[in-house]
Amino acid sequence: MKIDIISVLPELMESPLSHSIMKRAQDKGLLQVEVHPLRKWAVNKHGQVDDYQFGGGAGMVMMCEPLATAIDELQEKNGKYDEIIYMTPDGARFEQRTANILSMKQQLLIICGHYKGIDERIREHYVTMEISIGDYVLSGGEIAAAVVVDAIGRLLPGVLNDETSALFDSFQDNLLAPPVYTRPADFRGWKVPDVLLGGDPKKVDEWRHEQSIKRTKERRPDLYDEE
């Protein structure tokens, strides 16, 4: 999968995408992420990509021209994107099911907003999907985009070592993940549940499923009700 990202602050994206599982996905050639600095398409030699908003009001708006030129150029080079995603607090809430769907695409473009956001005409004429990572406002779309890329990237076949492990994540099947333990079996008298030490995989599976249900009912009854 190839993900292109357009950003005014490309440095912000570097660290989250260059370690751990994201690094492995890219090293294995399963995921290719390229961050494009929007200033490359600035309207003047001062690197301008934003301007005052019509109608007045505080805050700058990201201009049409740099974004439109960037998208046209990238699309010409890479072919048509499956989705052109705009990261914005007024987008649809990002959920595991969105990550699952996006992980099956070949080519995505993500636009990171800044300031007051991007000119509405880019949303109307280019953007095919608008994503929010939650009901709060970040100072830009970069961290939100990194969240989306991470959630998608780890689902790509071959990225996780244990092929099945993504299936047991919280939110797959609308259930939260069960509790996990590691050595020692007794820490300060705090004991690991016997069933996990008993060596019966069927019983372990049953216990985990029960715990998932219990946890979901207690902590996220809204998810359980969707079942």
CB of 57 within 8 A of CB of 132? no
CA 224 to CA 219: how far, in whole Å?
Answer: 9
Task: Determine if 190 is a binding residue for ligand ADE (CB under 6 A).
Answer: no
Phi (first) and psi of residue 51, to 5 degrees:
-155, 170
Q: Interface mask (CB under 6 A) for ligand ADE, residues 138-177, using x and -?
A: x--x--x---------------------------------
Number of residues that bind ligand ADE (CB under 6 A): 12
Task: Determine if 16 is a binding residue for ligand ADE (CB under 6 A).
Answer: no
The angle that helices 142-153 and 20-27 make with each other, rounded to 10 degrees, is: 60
- Report 59-88 residues binding ligand ADE (CB under 6 A): 87-88
Smallest distance from the beta carbon of 98 to ligand ADE, in angstroms?
Answer: 12
The distance in angstroms from the start CA to the end CA of the chain is: 31
CA 110 to CA 26: how far, in whole Å?
Answer: 17
Q: Which of 2, 89, 115, 156 binds ligand ADE (CB under 6 A)?
A: 89
CA 214 to CA 178: how far, in whole Å?
Answer: 9
Task: Determine if 102 is a binding residue for ligand ADE (CB under 6 A).
Answer: no
Task: Determine if 7 is a binding residue for ligand ADE (CB under 6 A).
Answer: no
Q: Catalog residues that contact ligand ADE under the rule CB under 6 A.
A: 87-89, 113, 132-134, 136-138, 141, 144
